[in-house]
A and B are shown apart, each in its own frame.
Chain A
Amino acid sequence: MARSQVRQSQRPPVDAWGSGRLGLIFSLLYRFGPPRWSQYVRKNWAGQRLVIALPYLWLFLFFAVPFIIVLKLSFSEVRLAMPPFAPLVEKVSDVAYALNLNLGNYYFLLSDSLYVNSYLYSIKVAAVSTVFCLLLGYPMSYAIARSTPTLRNIWLMLIILPFWTSFLLRVYAWVGLLKTDGLINQALGLVGIGPFTMMYTNFAVYIGIVYSYLPFMILPLYSNLEKHDLTLLEASADLGAGPITSFLRITLPLSMPGIIAGSLLVFIPAVGEYVIPSLLGSSDQLMIGRVLSDEFFSNRDWPVASAVSIAMLLLLVVPIVLFQRFQNRELAGARK
């Protein structure tokens, strides 16, 4: 870190074009001009600018700009045309423009109980699944972190392996297991219980989400638990604490960052989950991801679909920012 700062301060002074506020774009255009190109390549920073600009421009064009479009569209009115919405700024005459800023879509979201209910339902499903993921994933991560190095690698490989196989097919596997005449009910029938209705219920959705997102919970937890200093536990045992007290007073607080990272990695995508509820969930209680895609594909109401996604993002903005800060801290911490 310190070294690169030194290197930066030794760079040649940047000319007026490059140091301007639009420096990134200008420097790109400017650099391609033939007269001084070779001269700039010889310096450190011209190439660096290009290296920065490539991923920057890509992400800006295909990640940031689309959001601005969605935001803009969420304020538009729906129209029976292609594309099916009214322009935000409309030319009324030669000199006058009308700004069609329309809050109707958001008002519609709030007034129709379908949308509010699906938001609440999605949050509930994601939260419950996250808790179950944690309850199943924590003991597993703990056990893996305390295994011998050889076994540890095998366990980790077995955790990651399903992740490489198709997500869709793994969700589909549960259809055969959870059906009323499926494998689980058959097995329960042998013991004389059941059959239970499990398909197309909340239970099936929880199972599907926990199953698909479990590796995302285990891996951050494992990488945290593996770093713990075990002498702390020995010290607490020497001081007379039982295993449960030691766990609650030492391991659990130390593993909080792992718990938070894993939970966010499960919770955020689970709120917008589309495939799992479509295959396993009931059709009378829709999650918000399904509502969004129905609104877009079936009703062809692009503005409302945009408003739905902006509202979902507002809901997720706090967890996403939390996750980013955490991610940055992890990467910065690993460097030291």
Chain B
Amino acid sequence: MKSQSWFRRLSLFVGFAFLYIPILSMVVYSFNNSRLVTVWDTDDSPTLKWYRILLGNEQILSSAWLSIQVAAVTATGAVIFGTLAGLVLSRFGPFRGRTLLSAMTTAPLVMPEVITGLSLLLLFVFLEQLIGWPQGRGFVTIVIAHITFSMAYVTVIVQSRLSTFDDSLEEAALDLGARPAKVFFRITLPLILPAILSGWLLAFTLSWDDLVISQFVAGPGSTTLPMVVFSKVRLGVSPDINALATIMVMIVGIGVVISAFYMRRQDRRLALEMKMAKAEK
């Protein structure tokens, strides 16, 4: 047994080193004064030079703002459609076309991005010829494409959350005369709210992060942040991208820590309430 725990510790160490060394290297080198990643300029480092350059870059700032807007709208849309799809698939029992719906919700999870991007672009081109909408490509087409691939993730999350409790509460409310819509808003929605929230965050991240699909469906005037970063990185190493990465890692890290604390508090409160409910009996 002892050799086993040694092996486990080693594999965790190697795995996490592999996952985190690249991220840490970006964080460290974002404070390096030298332009070269390979040289650590001991005289003038650490410096905030690259952060100043990054935050003075008009193109990066405007594309980041566009990405935030796209991601927020995408996440909201994906949550609406994804929750409906998850609800339908796990609560509505068999209906005609269920197999097709479930296939269409799981396929985007693994579909290569180039194919999704290409097919959506062709759709937009055809639609524009046929009905004159969408006129050109930009914000709207990016959002539509992002909703389509990210709602699948929301669906899976909501579906697995719904499958952890049975529908007896909903049945009871229906028996007591509540209308289906009321049952949904008063019972189902509060129960799956955590899943919806994490689905929203996931869809936001996926949209914020997406390069390939955006490249296909974006127009000339709408450049998202990943597109700017990609064109910069393709030309070689640029240290202000390290600064950007550091800022993003920090935001995500803080967010994750806060949510972990929040979840722990929720768990404790739940445990306390259960205890008190038992004591009242």
Shortest Cβ distance from A57 into chain B, in angstroms? 10
A60 engages B104 (CB within 8 Å): yes
A51 lies within 8 A of B209 (CB): no
B54 at interface (Cβ–Cβ under 8 A)? no
1/0 per residue, CB under 8 A from B, across A64-89: the answer is 11110110010000000001000000
Q: Are A62 and B252 in contact, with the CB atoms below 8 A?
A: no
> Assuming A8-B93, A55-B88, is B245 touching A166 (CB within 8 A)?
yes
Q: Which residue of A lies closest to B205 (CB)?
A: A164
Q: Are A272 and B114 in contact (CB under 8 A)?
A: yes
What's the minimum C-beta distance from A76 to chain B, rounded to whole angstroms? 11
A24: chain B residues within 8 A (beta carbon): 96-97
Interface size on B, residues (CB 8 A): 103
Q: A63-B148, A274-B212 are in contact. Are A23 and B126 (CB under 8 A)?
A: no
Contact B245–A173 (Cβ < 8 Å):
yes
The contact of A59 among B104, B122, B179, B180, by CB within 8 Å, is B104
Rounded to whole angstroms, the CA-CA distance of A139 and B97 in the bound complex is 41
Please indicate which of the listed interface residues B11, B15, B160, B234 has the most CB atoms of chain A within 10 Å of its own CB. Answer: B15
Give every chain B residue within 8 A of A292 (Cβ-Cβ): 114-115, 118
Whether a CB of chain A sits under 8 angstroms from the CB of B120 is yes
CA of A305 to CA of B119, assembled, Å:
10
Q: Is B11 in contact with A58, judged by CB distance below 8 angstroms?
A: no
A166 to B224, CA, bound (A): 13
Q: What's the Cα separation between A26 and B146 when bound, in Å? A: 29
Choice from B106, B167, B244, B255 contacting A327 with Cβ under 8 Å: B106
Interface string of B108-125 (1 = CB under 8 A from A): 111111110011101101
Chain A 148-167, CB within 8 Å of chain B: the 1/0 string? 00000101011111101111
Kindly provide the distance from the CB of B195 to the nearest chain A CB, expressed in whole angstroms. Answer: 13
- A140-B12, A168-B226, A169-B245 given; A316·B107 CB < 8 A: no
For B180, list chain A residues within 8 Å (CB).
Answer: 44, 47-48
How distant is the Cα of A87 from the Cα of B111 in the complex, in angstroms?
A: 27
B148-A162 in contact (CB<8A)? no
Contact check, A312 vs B115: say whether CB atoms are below 8 A apart: yes
CA distance A159 to B112 in the complex (A): 23
Can you name the residue of chain A whose Cβ is closest to the Cβ of B122? A69
A335 touches B119 (CB 8 A): no
Q: Nearest-CB distance from B121 to chain A (Å)?
A: 8
Flag if A67 contacts B119 (CB, 8 Å): yes
A60 neighbours in B (Cβ, 8 Å): 104
A182 and B37 contact, CB distance less than 8 A? yes
In the complex, 11 of the A-B residue pairs with CB atoms within 8 angstroms, ordered by the A residue number, are: A1-B93, A51-B84, A55-B151, A63-B104, A64-B104, A70-B118, A136-B18, A158-B20, A169-B244, A173-B25, A183-B25
Bin the interface of chain A by size. 35 or more
Residues of B within 8 A of A91 (CB): none
Chain B at the A interface: mostly helix, strand, loop or mixed? helix
Quick check: A173 and B105 within 8 Å, CB to CB? no
Which residues in window 126-168 of B have CB below 8 A to A? 126, 129, 144-145, 147-148, 151, 155-156, 159-160, 163-164, 166-168
**Chain B residues closer than 8 Å to A69, beta-carbon distance:** 119, 122-123, 126
The smallest beta-carbon distance between A235 and chain B, in angstroms, is: 15
**A158-208 residues at the B interface, CB under 8 angstroms:** 158-162, 164-170, 172-177, 179, 181-183, 186
How far does the alpha carbon of A176 sit from the alpha carbon of B239 in the complex, in Å? 10
Q: Does A328 interact with chain B (Cβ within 8 Å)?
A: yes
**Knowing A139-B8, A140-B12, A182-B37 touch, does A58 contact B106 (C-beta < 8 A)?**
no
Known: A55-B85, A157-B260. 20 other contacts (CB 8 A): A4-B92, A8-B93, A44-B180, A59-B81, A66-B122, A136-B15, A153-B260, A165-B249, A166-B229, A175-B237, A176-B37, A177-B21, A183-B37, A183-B38, A272-B112, A275-B212, A289-B113, A289-B212, A323-B110, A335-B90
Interface presence of B16 (CB below 8 A) = yes
Contacts of A265 in B (CB 8 A): 109-110
Q: Which of A301-336 contact B (CB under 8 A)?
A: 302, 305-306, 309, 312-313, 316, 319-320, 323-324, 327-328, 331, 334-335
B4 CB–A CB distance under 8 Å: yes
The answer to whether A320 and B110 touch (CB under 8 A), given A4-B93, A139-B7, A166-B248, is: yes
A306 to chain B: which residues have CB within 8 Å?
118, 122
By a CB distance below 8 angstroms, the chain B residues around A164 are: 205, 252, 255-256
Cβ contact within 8 Å between B8 and A62: no
Q: Which residues of A contact B185 (CB under 8 A)?
A: none
**A55 vs B94: C-alpha distance when bound (angstroms):** 16
Q: In whole angstroms, what is the CA distance A143 to B100 when docked? A: 38
Instruction: Give the CA-CA distance A124 to B115 in the complex, in Å.
Output: 19
Choice from A179, A302, A328 contacting B122 with Cβ under 8 Å: A302
8 Å CB contact of A279 from B102, B181, B233, B245: B233
Cβ A309 vs Cβ B211 within 8 A: no
- B9 interface residue per 8 A CB criterion: yes
Q: Complex formed: what's the CA distance from A296 to B123 in Å? A: 15
Inter-chain contacts of B91 with A (CB < 8 A): 4
Taking CB atoms, residues of chain A closer than 8 Å to B179 are 41-42, 47
Q: Which of A70, A305, A324, A331 contacts B160 (CB 8 A)?
A: A331
Check B87 for interface membership: any CB of A closer than 8 A: yes
Task: Tell me, yes or no, whether B23 is within 8 Å of chain A by CB.
Answer: yes
Residues of B within 8 A of A36 (CB): none
B237 touches A279 (CB 8 A): no
The 3 closest A-B pairs by CB, nearest first: A272-B112, A66-B119, A139-B11
